[in-house]
Amino acid sequence: MDTIGLPMELRDRFESERARFLALLEPVLADLAADPMRFARADKLVALPEDYEAADLVLLKPLGIAVSRDDHRLRAGAAAALAAMARAATAEGHTLVAASTYRSYAYQETVYARWVRELGQERADRVSARPGRSQHQLGTVLDFAPIDNAFATTGAGLWVAANAARFGFSLSYPRGLESLTGYDWESWHWRWLGVPAATLQRECFGDVQHWLILFLEAWTGD
């Protein structure tokens, strides 16, 4: 596990709170065994196969989720969790709008090319993933509207930041961690991992998704 470069304070926490850590880890490992792609890496170092598309993608609009386009889809588990989260937000006066969801490899090619045209490749690589390296291809990631860091200060954005983990969602690219994640802060970009994993991430990994995913990858490789 040391090879993944976890900060010393996290490794110290694993040892000092070992019983709690193992109790939180157990259901996550069960989810990992049942659904490895839920925790797959898609980043600047690891790419998904060009033809990867989850078999259980479902449309969000029929589930009562507000969408920017009728064809937005997520994997079934993520969609169900998002529907529950949207209902809870609505009950507290906030509307969550899914603005970008599953993207195929081919679609990401067009997205990345547009950013390169607009910003140049160096800047584009800070804000957009190359084809095969986008978490959106996993089918468990969505961008909330507005796709802008103004989202963080909206009522909906503040509500999501405070409540998303209860529904199994994790912020992929936190503020100030570009050197770690490879991407600028994206307050609107959330990935569904399931409640056990979101809880483990928050309690034991400094609430940093990147560290959790690397840890689980190393665990399965041992």
Q: Are 140 and 75 in contact (CB under 8 A)?
A: yes
- Specify the 3-state DSSP secondary structure of 147: coil
Residue 36, preceding peptide bond in cis (omega within 30° of 0): no
Instruction: Find, among 171, 198, 204, the residue nearest to 15 by Cα.
Output: 204
For the chain, domain boundaries: 2-221
What does the alpha-carbon distance between residue 71 and residue 58 come to, in Å, rounded to a whole number?
9
H helix intervals, the chain:
8-16, 18-34, 76-91, 105-119, 121-127, 155-163, 178-181, 195-204, 209-221
Residue 15 has a pLDDT of 86
User: What is the structure's pLDDT at 85?
Assistant: 98
Query: Cα–Cα–Cα angle for 208, 107, 186, nearest 5°?
Result: 25
> Using an 8 Å Cβ cutoff, are 196 and 27 in contact?
yes
What is residue 222's predicted lDDT score, i.e. its pLDDT?
A: 55
Report residue 35: phi and psi, to 5°: -150, 75
Series of mean pLDDT values for 10-residue runs along the chain (222 residues): 74 89 97 98 95 98 98 98 98 98 96 94 91 97 97 98 98 96 96 98 96 93 65
Q: What is the CATH number of domain 2-221?
A: 3.30.1380.10
Q: Which two tokens stand for residue 182?
A: 């490879």
Q: In the prediction, which pLDDT does 11 show?
A: 87
